[in-house]
Structure 1
Amino acid sequence: MDEKRIADFFAELVSIDSPSLEEREMADTLKIKFAEIGVTLTEDHTQEQTGSNAGNLSARIPGSLAGAPVLFAAHMDTVEPAKGKKAVSHEDGTVTSDGTTVLGADDLAGVTAIYEAVRHLIKTKTPHRPIEILISTGEELYCKGANAFDYSQVQAKEAYVLDLSGAIGAAAYAAPTLVSFAAKIQGKAAHAGFHPEDGINSIQAAACAIAQLPQGHVDESTTANIGEIGGGSGTNIVSESCVIEGEIRSLNHETAMELLETYHRTFQQEVEKIGAKLVWEEKLNIHAYETPLTSDAARHYESAVAEEGLTAAFEKTFGGSDNNVFAQHGIEGLVIATSMNQVHSCAEYTKIPEIAQVARIVANLAAPQEA
């Protein structure tokens, strides 16, 4: 696998603006690029559900080896700041942005590795298992594209999502449920100097509730955070309204939902104590999963990594990915390290030799020695 070709392909993708829900140009480019190596990417029509200007891209490549198909997945959107990205190459093979935007290695390094692996298998006529590809939109917005995708189009029950930071060989086999919430408290305004007793202070209710609630690491598998609070209209006015927003994550779905109910109940109790009203909003963004380390996905990954002289390192993560969605559709998968570092920042970087290494691991997964 040619590192210069990989670097050029990656740099071309990086130069395309593809913030979440604005993936049109990226989708069009990927369809052309994959067609050049004999792979037809089919675009679905999920735009109405996701709000994107493009659909998810998928493909099925027949295999010459017997066995069930394997699914490789990545996403084409990037977080902001993402307008005007460009790849800046360094002599040691590291690639950064110019420091004013993210690089987009999350997840264009993953897209590049899948492309290069498939190109290699096709050009060398290497016998391989049937391959399925899914490149989603809106992944950074709680997996919008993957959630909207029609999984009747997928035959694979084994998946590898190229979307993890860390040393090459690492793989996440468990990820959390993530729920977000908003507590909207409605009190009553009054003059804070002359008639404070006529008011109902929404901030007071919020403070009393927050003081009782666990935050940070609730246990080794669960975190909770109140991240935003706003309210009031002046220091001389009893606060009429207040909004508190936060999230809960847990590797155990039931634990997350129980803690969410504790948050709701606590806010409700404190609001009622002072005669205010509560409007509670909550959203299940992603559902926890854990792929058994005895699964085909873990066993095959361990072998594919070993072919590269590496040792697979299985870990749990507190970040979500499209793999959370796959698990809800009966697909056992791993999220694998893909040379994306300091993601979601302007210091993001990748290394071309590592992308090449990931591409070889993907090729090994599609064409296992044991087959």
Structure 2
Amino acid sequence: MQKIIDRFVKYIKVDTQSDPENPAFPSTEKQWDLAKILVEDLKEIGMEDVTLDDNCYIMATLPSNVDFEVPVIGFIAHIDTSPDYTGTNVNPQFYPNYDGKDIVLNKEQNIVLSPSYFDDLLLYKGQTLITTDGTTLLGADDKAGVTEIVSAMEYLIQHPEIKHGKIRIGFTPDEEVGKGAHMFDVDKFGAEWAYTMDGSQVGELEFENFNAAGAKVTINGKIVHPGYAKGKMINSMLIANDFISGLPKNEVPEKTEGYEGFYHLHTMEGEVEKTNLEYIIRDHDIKLFEERKATFQKVADDLNKKLGSNIVEVEIKDQYFNMREKIEPVMHIVDIAEEAMKQLNIKPLIKAIRGGTDGSQLSYKGLPCPNIFAGGHNFHGRYEYVPAESLKLATDVIIKIAQITTERAQ
């Protein structure tokens, strides 16, 4: 297991934070740093057809070691980390034989990782936790997945007695800013199906995700001297408050769970003359998703009827859709992953993703792609952690999926 830990640490120390404001692809040059390291690592362990294309996608092949036809399967993870929190100078901390108590991540800043708030910690008593030092994210999302895929391929190469068909692996840039699958060449990848290693808790197996849209709201006000403003000033910030209040107040991330959708205001900038709001709109059910977008637009239309046309401008763009529609016709690929976990004494946790993965877009591009746990928790912030044992278990699941796929093809 130490080799897996060392590989994980090597990858998380490379800053690969993506940038949602940059239309370039990839959105940050520093993603190339890890991509080039991975190319060398894949060649070193013995992978074939290792490529790094002009868009920072890495692909490689583990050839079949059997003399009969086996479906070509793939495993995919993303190399970038979230723009929500800095990934510069990641300094991982190690807590062997975790005792279930508070972990002081940073004494000077009084940053504490506590099971009283993050109760998932108690699932991992007695294990080795890898945490941040409280000043950065960790990068387990998704360098845990990257580590597990490389480690599984290395193990299969070193253990030819384990029979498997042809396996393709892929590492993508810019997943965290919604572009991870945009330039992915499904035909070049050449797999019948694949799995993203991008989930959280041990046992997670997901083939449903949100339908997703991003929305920008521009509110146009009018500035005049406040002493002479009666009947003339239009304060865009106050109208913004009316817009926010016009949406269902309980349909927000902090008050929803499971299959419940939401409207999430994540950015707000304003002054009297102009206020900008940025939202994400989410729902698992496509009909409810369309209704949410219509409700969002109606709030703006109602304000414009009251205040005057073009005071409130709305732009809504679809981002990705629920992959369930594409997975259900090939549910055997979920069954294989579930069986792999059961054979490893891992309880499968089959549930819907309250978010999205590269797999959702790839499924709509013709590559059915359920999502499997990578082991990390509390992604996108200073409280992120991953148990070392989870890295090993996810690696074992990849190996076992390759075995079961081969056995079923005989």
TM-score normalized with structure 1 length? 0.88
- 1:38 equivalent in structure 2: 46
Instruction: Give the alignment partner of residue 139 of structure 2, picking from 97, 104, 115.
Output: 104
**2:180 counterpart SS class:** helix
Which residue identity does 2:53 align to in structure 1? D
- 1:289 equivalent in structure 2: 323
Q: Does 1:214 align with 2:248?
A: yes
Provide structure 1 residue ranges, at least 5 long, that are not aligned to the other structure.
47-54, 233-238
CA shift, 1:334, in A, is 1.6
User: What are the superposed Cα offsets for residues 255-299 of structure 1, whole Å, 9 maximum, x if unpaired?
Assistant: 323321221232123124222523322222222221339712211
- 1:236 equivalent in structure 2: none
Q: Does 1:10 align with 2:8?
A: yes
Q: Does 1:56 align with 2:57?
A: yes
8 Å Cα contact 1:221-1:252 kept in structure 2? no
CA shift, 1:32, in A, is 0.6
Task: Note the 1:157-306 alignment, pairs <5 A.
Answer: 157-166=192-201, 168-217=202-251, 220-232=259-271, 239-277=272-310, 278-290=312-324, 291-292=327-328, 295-306=331-342
Distance 2:229 2:347 in 1: 70
8 Å Cα contact 2:62-2:153 kept in structure 1? no
Provide structure 2 residue ranges, at least 5 long, that are not aligned to the other structure.
19-27, 98-127
TM-score normalized with structure 2 length? 0.80
With over 3 angstroms needed to count, the CA separation of the structure-2 counterparts of 1:45 and 1:250, relative to structure 1, is: same
CA shift, 1:98, in A, is 2.2
Distance 1:193 1:274 in 2: 22
User: What are the superposed Cα offsets for residues 7-47 of structure 1, whole Å, 9 maximum, x if unpaired?
Assistant: 1111211222222232111011101111011114311222x
Instruction: Give the alignment partner of residue 325 of structure 1, picking from 345, 351, 361.
Output: 361
8 Å Cα contact 2:76-2:170 kept in structure 1? yes
- 1:140 equivalent in structure 2: 176
With over 3 angstroms needed to count, the CA separation of the structure-2 counterparts of 1:91 and 1:370, relative to structure 1, is: same
User: What are the superposed Cα offsets for residues 200-235 of structure 1, whole Å, 9 maximum, x if unpaired?
Assistant: 343444344333322443884321123333333xxx
8 Å Cα contact 2:221-2:234 kept in structure 1? yes
User: What are the superposed Cα offsets for residues 138-166 of structure 1, whole Å, 9 maximum, x if unpaired?
Assistant: 11111x13212122213223221111111
With over 3 angstroms needed to count, the CA separation of the structure-2 counterparts of 1:173 and 1:348, relative to structure 1, is: same
Instruction: Give the alignment partner of residue 93 of structure 2, picking from 88, 106, 121.
Output: 88
With over 3 angstroms needed to count, the CA separation of the structure-2 counterparts of 1:272 and 1:145, relative to structure 1, is: same
- 1:122 equivalent in structure 2: 157
With over 3 angstroms needed to count, the CA separation of the structure-2 counterparts of 1:97 and 1:207, relative to structure 1, is: closer
8 Å Cα contact 2:268-2:275 kept in structure 1? yes
Distance 1:172 1:103 in 2: 23
8 Å Cα contact 1:185-1:276 kept in structure 2? no
**1:196 counterpart SS class:** coil
With over 3 angstroms needed to count, the CA separation of the structure-2 counterparts of 1:45 and 1:158, relative to structure 1, is: same
- Report the aligned-residue RMSD: 2.1
Instruction: Give the alignment partner of residue 372 of structure 2, picking from 330, 336, 346.
Output: 336
With over 3 angstroms needed to count, the CA separation of the structure-2 counterparts of 1:271 and 1:14, relative to structure 1, is: same
User: What are the superposed Cα offsets for residues 81-120 of structure 1, whole Å, 9 maximum, x if unpaired?
Assistant: 1111133333232212222211111111111111111111
Which residue identity does 2:65 align to in structure 1? S
Deviates further, 127-136 or 294-303: 294-303
Which residue identity does 2:332 align to in structure 1? D
- 1:235 equivalent in structure 2: none
Distance 2:319 2:401 in 1: 30
**2:177 counterpart SS class:** coil
8 Å Cα contact 2:81-2:139 kept in structure 1? yes
Distance 1:242 1:281 in 2: 14
Q: Give aligned pairs, total.
A: 353
8 Å Cα contact 1:69-1:156 kept in structure 2? yes
With over 3 angstroms needed to count, the CA separation of the structure-2 counterparts of 1:210 and 1:4, relative to structure 1, is: closer
Deviates further, 70-79 or 8-17: 8-17
Distance 1:96 1:228 in 2: 28
**1:333 counterpart SS class:** coil
Task: Note the 1:149-160 alignment, pairs <5 A.
Answer: 149-160=184-195
With over 3 angstroms needed to count, the CA separation of the structure-2 counterparts of 1:8 and 1:206, relative to structure 1, is: closer
- 2:104 equivalent in structure 1: none
8 Å Cα contact 2:80-2:173 kept in structure 1? yes
Q: Does 1:69 align with 2:102?
A: no
Deviates further, 313-322 or 270-279: 270-279
8 Å Cα contact 1:158-1:296 kept in structure 2? no
Distance 1:298 1:259 in 2: 30
Deviates further, 76-85 or 190-199: 190-199
Distance 1:316 1:294 in 2: 17
- 2:101 equivalent in structure 1: none
